[in-house]
Structure 1
Amino acid sequence: MIRHLVLFRLDEGVERDDPRVVAGAEAFRALGGQIEELRFWECGWNVSDRPIAYDFAINSAVEDEDALKRYLEHPAHQAGVAMWREFATWVIADYPF
């Protein structure tokens, strides 16, 4: 199994209630039921107010590197990424477990 972690930081001046952000969060919440390669899926807003904290996180798992590739290339995933690209930056980690 491969864990796929993503941490998002909203761009300067962008708030969680921005309609683009609301739509982007909904698009990512829906992925768990749309992409069969996903074995585990959760995402949500950070509750910490520490300065180093990111704003939104995805924690997911797939069977192997081929499944990860299919997930990353899936049209629903690509659509969500395109939305978030407009208002956030992110970091990722993919590791076997």
Structure 2
Amino acid sequence: MIRHLVLFKLNEGVGRDDPRVVAGADAFFALGGQIEELSFWECGWNITDRPIAHDFAINSAVEDQDALKRYLEHPAHQAAAAQWREFATWVIADYGF
């Protein structure tokens, strides 16, 4: 199994109530039910207020490298990620478990 973690930081001046952010979050909330390669899916907003904290997180799992590739290339994932490129930066970690 591979765990796929993503932490998003909204760009300076962009708030959670920005319509682009709301649409982007909705797109990620929906992904879990759209992509069969995902064996685990959760995402949500950070609930703490610390300077080093990111704003939004995805925690997901896939079976293997091939499944991760298919997930990353899936049109629904590509469309959701494209929305976030407009208003956020992110870091990713993929590890086996």
TM-score bracket for this pair, using the shorter chain length: over 0.9
Structure 1 stretches of at least 4 aligned residues deviating more than 4 Å after TM superposition: none
Count of residue correspondences: 97
Deviations 1:8-64 (A, max 9, x none): 000000000000000000000000000000000000000110100000000000000
Task: Structure 2: state its 5+ residue gaps.
Answer: none
Question: Shift of the alpha carbon at 1:71?
Answer: 0.1
Q: Distance in 2 between matches of 1:87 and 1:68?
A: 25
Question: Shift of the alpha carbon at 1:96?
Answer: 0.2
TM-score (norm: length of structure 2): 1.00
Query: Would you say 1:34 and 2:34 are equivalent positions?
Result: yes
Identity of aligned residues (%): 86
Equivalent position SS for 1:82: helix
Q: Distance in 1 between matches of 2:16 and 2:64?
A: 33
Task: Structure 1: state its 5+ residue gaps.
Answer: none
Give the 5 Å matches for 1:42-81: 42-81=42-81
Equivalent position SS for 2:92: strand
Question: Shift of the alpha carbon at 1:87?
Answer: 0.1
Q: Distance in 2 between matches of 1:75 and 1:25?
A: 16
Question: Shift of the alpha carbon at 1:6?
Answer: 0.1
Q: CA RMSD in A?
A: 0.2
Task: Specify the code of the residue in structure 2 equivalent to 1:43.
Answer: C
Q: Distance in 1 between matches of 2:29 and 2:74?
A: 15
Question: Shift of the alpha carbon at 1:91?
Answer: 0.1
